[in-house]
Structure 1
Amino acid sequence: MRLRKSVAASSTILVVFAAGCGSSAGDGVAVASGVCTTDRVGGSVTQGTLLTPRGLDPVGQPGAAGSGGTEVQALFDTLMTYNTESQQYEPQVAETLTPNEDFTVWTMTLRDGVRYGNGDALTADDVKRSIERHQSPSNTQVSRGEALTIASMDVLDPLTVRFTLDGAYPAFPHVLATDVGMVTNPRIVDAMGPEQFALNPRGAGVGPYELEKYAPGEEIVMSAKADYYGGPVCIQTLRFISIPGAEGTLDALRTGELDVALLREPPAIAEAREEELGSLPTLYNYGEGVVMNSAVSRPTADVRLRKAIVAAVDPEAVNKRVFNGTALATSALIHEDTPGLYSGESGPSYDPDLARKLVNEARNSGWNGTIRLLADNSPIRINEAIAVKALLENVGFTVELDNDKSLAEVLGKVASDRDYDLVIWGPNYTNEGLWALMNRQLNSQSKSNYYGYADSRMDEALAALRTATTPEQEQEIVARMQVVLDDSPVIANFAAYEEDNVHSSRVGGLLLTRGSVLRYDKAFVAGR
């Protein structure tokens, strides 16, 4: 994470895995190049997503691309944006963002003349009020933790806000590039109330698109704004739908039902890359594995069982059986293909003899040998769960498998109810926003720690990661984290995972930002 001061951008540059961020296609076939210009205005695009968002209010969003990130950003835009090609944060709705010397105070100036869809002018006071909504205890999503890094906000003039943080945070621009940086028109929110606003936030955003239709479980339709502050918006109609399964989604792209598809299954991604399709991938460390609930009421509160599960799960066996060898198999926290962050630390080894020994010790201490494994009912997750069940039973576990629930239901059981022993899950750590992602899940004091995980050594490492200012510092810290996780595991990792925004050659100008989220403000349809 290299730093520089700039009057027109954040001071933080993060290294992120971005191979293919400049959109490329399989077999050497180039996709449409350039960006939106007035002569390219026109056309429509349909994108396939992983999950229909449960509302369109940035407050209350999970923040991930597959569950509404791209859709909500198209309506509201973000104060800052992460450019995966330059690997820098850049102003978007903001004009400048500048820190003090110790990165505890940041001053942001907004672009002049930015307006909401209803015509209201965007002001610094709106920014303050919008972020306060994220900070409210009523917000149970991860954006609250991001927003609470801000201790106070002072409106200096109609276009300037000063953020005083709760401590040094060189990567603070990340916060304003997430849901926290999607400013909502407070007058519309107040008039409608949050529940109705989430269903119909028309006129309340400054993004390139306005909502036309929100039919949960069916489709989301948006139309381009004629007066977007960022210039012409070429694609006139955006439609988002969810098709079950990666293979079905890829088939819909092939037939032209979809123009863009977010894929998160290695075999389908491998197929797409052999074809004439554009590719905008994001690599997630700790992307797929068996997450263990460490809460005191669970069998896996016993660290011996957590170590047994890690030793029992063979990443190569899962890769061969489930992914046909196409996954990035690893037990490590950081995959070796992660530039700027990989420290050379390998993960724990597959060791079924050690696993059996630890299982027997736990049984002799009074545990009955039974453990519950939760997975959603997508075909690939079912196969993962079956593979993991076999590996665990091979070392003496009795596994009760629950794999008949939808992804949304599993999300609820893990994130809200925390009602599980084990779950096939991906914590999903990218370089961009690394501290924020890890801290909310692994800090013992975090309300978003769904895993009941608590280790003072991890808390200390996370505190150091927040203030790191160089790649070398980050590498040293994540190496320490690997040692902690070997001794006190929270996930039996079996793969780093890619998501890929695959698209047809008729769509150009797509921009990839944080967490697989796409920006459509510069996109266009070629050859109309």
Structure 2
Amino acid sequence: MRLRKSAAMSASVLVVLAAGCGSAGSDSTAVASGTCTADRVGGSVTQGTLLTPRGLDPVGQPGAAGSGGTEVQALFDTLMTYNTESQVYEPQVAESLTSNADFTVWTMTLREGVRYGNGDVLVADDVKRNVERHQSPANTQVSRGEALTIASMDVPDPRTIRFTLDGAYPNFPHVLATDVGMVTNPRVVDALGPEQFALNPRGAGVGPYELAKYAPGEEIVMTAKPDYWGGPVCIQTLRFISIPGAEGTLDALRTGELDVALLREPPAIAEAREEGFGSLPTLFNYGEGIVMNSAASRPTADVRLRKAIVAAVDPDAVNKRVFNGTALATSALIHQDTPGLYSGATGPTYDPDLAKELVSEVKQSGWNGTIRLLADNSPIRINEAIAVKALLENVGLTVQLENDKSLAEVVGKVASDRDYDLVIWGPNYTNEGLWALMNRQLNSQSKSNYYGYADPRMDDALAALRTATTPEQEQQIVSRMQEILDDSPVIANFAAYEEDNVHSPRVGGLILTRGSVLRYDKAFVAGA
């Protein structure tokens, strides 16, 4: 059987290779259908993404689709993969994955004869060394937290590795479907050193593509491997570029400069769908809102002020003003369209009178009412920030707006410097890997908790979420989390968000996996 995310599981869970590797489809009947076959080999594809990755080493990558996730996936592949249609984890480079009765020990068998681009055979000790790289304190990205769920590893033979975890984790296959599951050839890493390897990881991956050119800020070009372990690779050249703004990116898709485009702005996504482009969307809960820095030095350390900001925000007003009504407006942690996870719990209500009362209380404690709001300088974020500023000033706050920085600079100020009071931000909780995503942001002990958030009730709920084995258990836990966030908020949410990999009808066989990441191993260009 295949492992369903958070499905009820027996004492010994076996993940076996699913028959075939079907592609994610589109609602558009004009989109090329089927999968890559030998007679379809040929053609090139250019994809537009949100940010150019800082390097191509899976260690040190943010992991998101818009900042290098699809690119590193093409080079390195993953041990496991997430099937977004069936919501199950399936073996990819691995052949199988089994657990013991309490989900604390997992045994993985590798496929036989999988080779890196330089001809070396992938062996289980390479997997062990790869996980250790992710666990290193030198890795400051989110993959370290994923890898640290593994307490120890042993390698009985060249194709087998046994993972002993730091506790029960029924959803552990998620870890091996992320950057941690992208095995880098340790011999190439050792020869080049980590810095040079990130710039030129040729020969070091088992994915369908090899790096041809990496020009940071300009383009990334890859060529298909003739001997990929998964069969023929149809699209011979992949090119990744970043075009500023969703409308500019969509225009490039219309003119044929792009064949695939990752979009994250609701109006542009709506336009693309109306025009008949293929659509591979991912729903992100807590996708867009105001993150409040709860660190002791910030005015929002006061929970009364955080509650006031939540009460001051009207999701419907932001949706109409900024997104022309195309966004999934909600204040709730989990949007009602989330399959298998929505419990019926609603978020806080818009209440400007309560917000004014709470702001007045905090001011009486000696605070002057001035607060900084950070947003990147993309047109839609500027509009969001202006709308939010008006809502906050309506309840008695004085907002100092900072919206002159790029998205990359804002990410640095939040994730590295922690230099903000409020920021327009998307925490982005997807249906798969929910515990891992929430734990690293909301656990009081997490090194990736950029928000200074600390609530022992949330820590307890997160611990329960990690060990949940059924959708019903997850629903109960996230419903409890909603109650905690109502009482002790850290995010004034105003929309769940979709990212969409929209694409030309001539491109078929694209496979959507976790977090908007695309797999190109079965993709093809019709008529190439």
In the superposition, the TM-score normalised over structure 2's length comes to 0.97
Superposed counterparts of 1:126-525, under 5 Å: 126-525=126-525
Asked whether the 8 Å contact 2:17–2:95 carries over to 1, the reply is: no
**Separation in 1 of the partners of 2:154 and 2:193?**
25
For residues 111-148 of structure 1, the C-alpha deviation after alignment (integer angstroms, 9 at most, x for no partner) is 01001001111010000001100000000000000000
Shift of 1:24: 1.4
Shift of 1:87: 1.3
Asked whether the 8 Å contact 2:13–2:99 carries over to 1, the reply is: no
Q: Does 1:2 align with 2:7?
A: yes
Shift of 1:7: 3.7
Shift of 1:411: 0.4
Shift of 1:85: 1.5
| Structure 1 residue aligned with 2:73 | 73
**Separation in 2 of the partners of 1:120 and 1:219?**
28
Shift of 1:6: 5.1
**Separation in 2 of the partners of 1:142 and 1:10?**
28
- Unpaired runs of 5+ residues, structure 2, are 1-5
Q: How many residue pairs align between the two structures?
A: 518
| Structure 2 residue aligned with 1:24 | 26
Structure 2 letter corresponding to 1:2: A
Q: Percent same amino acid at aligned positions?
A: 87
Shift of 1:431: 1.1
**Separation in 1 of the partners of 2:379 and 2:517?**
24
SS across alignment from 1:501: strand
Structure 2 letter corresponding to 1:396: G
For residues 149-170 of structure 1, the C-alpha deviation after alignment (integer angstroms, 9 at most, x for no partner) is 0000001100100000000000
Q: Does 1:113 align with 2:113?
A: yes
**Separation in 2 of the partners of 1:109 and 1:318?**
50
**Separation in 2 of the partners of 1:40 and 1:181?**
29
Structure 2 letter corresponding to 1:379: P
**Separation in 1 of the partners of 2:205 and 2:289?**
37
**Separation in 2 of the partners of 1:480 and 1:298?**
27
**Separation in 2 of the partners of 1:159 and 1:345?**
46
Q: Does 1:98 align with 2:98?
A: yes
Query: Aligned pair in 2 of structure 1 residues 249, 25: CA closer, same or farther (>3 Å)?
Result: farther
For residues 232-273 of structure 1, the C-alpha deviation after alignment (integer angstroms, 9 at most, x for no partner) is 000000000000011110110010000000000000011111
SS across alignment from 1:499: strand
Q: Does 1:34 align with 2:34?
A: yes
- Unpaired runs of 5+ residues, structure 1, are 12-20
Asked whether the 8 Å contact 2:200–2:214 carries over to 1, the reply is: yes
Asked whether the 8 Å contact 2:73–2:519 carries over to 1, the reply is: yes
Asked whether the 8 Å contact 1:53–1:67 carries over to 2, the reply is: yes
SS across alignment from 2:48: strand
SS across alignment from 1:230: coil
The root-mean-square deviation of aligned C-alpha atoms, in Å, is 1.2
For residues 388-435 of structure 1, the C-alpha deviation after alignment (integer angstroms, 9 at most, x for no partner) is 000000000000000000000000000000000000000000110000
| Structure 2 residue aligned with 1:18 | none
Shift of 1:275: 1.2
SS across alignment from 2:16: coil
Regions of 4+ moved over 2 Å: 3-11
**Separation in 2 of the partners of 1:509 and 1:452?**
42
| Structure 1 residue aligned with 2:47 | 47
Asked whether the 8 Å contact 1:378–1:406 carries over to 2, the reply is: yes
Asked whether the 8 Å contact 1:10–1:97 carries over to 2, the reply is: no
**Separation in 1 of the partners of 2:14 and 2:412?**
42
Shift of 1:3: 3.6
**Separation in 2 of the partners of 1:30 and 1:513?**
22
Asked whether the 8 Å contact 2:24–2:509 carries over to 1, the reply is: no
Structure 2 letter corresponding to 1:233: V
**Separation in 1 of the partners of 2:373 and 2:17?**
43
Structure 2 letter corresponding to 1:227: D
Asked whether the 8 Å contact 2:464–2:477 carries over to 1, the reply is: yes
In the superposition, the TM-score normalised over structure 1's length comes to 0.97
Asked whether the 8 Å contact 1:116–1:206 carries over to 2, the reply is: yes
SS across alignment from 1:278: coil
**Separation in 1 of the partners of 2:7 and 2:94?**
21
**Separation in 1 of the partners of 2:339 and 2:500?**
18
Asked whether the 8 Å contact 1:363–1:369 carries over to 2, the reply is: yes
For residues 160-217 of structure 1, the C-alpha deviation after alignment (integer angstroms, 9 at most, x for no partner) is 0000000000000000000000000101101111001000000000000000000001
Structure 2 letter corresponding to 1:403: N
Asked whether the 8 Å contact 2:283–2:499 carries over to 1, the reply is: yes
Shift of 1:30: 2.9
**Separation in 2 of the partners of 1:368 and 1:189?**
53
**Separation in 2 of the partners of 1:403 and 1:495?**
20
| Structure 1 residue aligned with 2:3 | none
**Separation in 2 of the partners of 1:400 and 1:320?**
24
**Separation in 2 of the partners of 1:231 and 1:187?**
25
Asked whether the 8 Å contact 2:294–2:452 carries over to 1, the reply is: yes
**Separation in 2 of the partners of 1:442 and 1:75?**
32
SS across alignment from 1:408: helix
Asked whether the 8 Å contact 2:13–2:100 carries over to 1, the reply is: no
Structure 1 letter corresponding to 2:253: L
**Separation in 2 of the partners of 1:24 and 1:36?**
16
**Separation in 1 of the partners of 2:100 and 2:228?**
32
Query: Aligned pair in 2 of structure 1 residues 7, 341: CA closer, same or farther (>3 Å)?
Result: closer
Structure 2 letter corresponding to 1:240: F
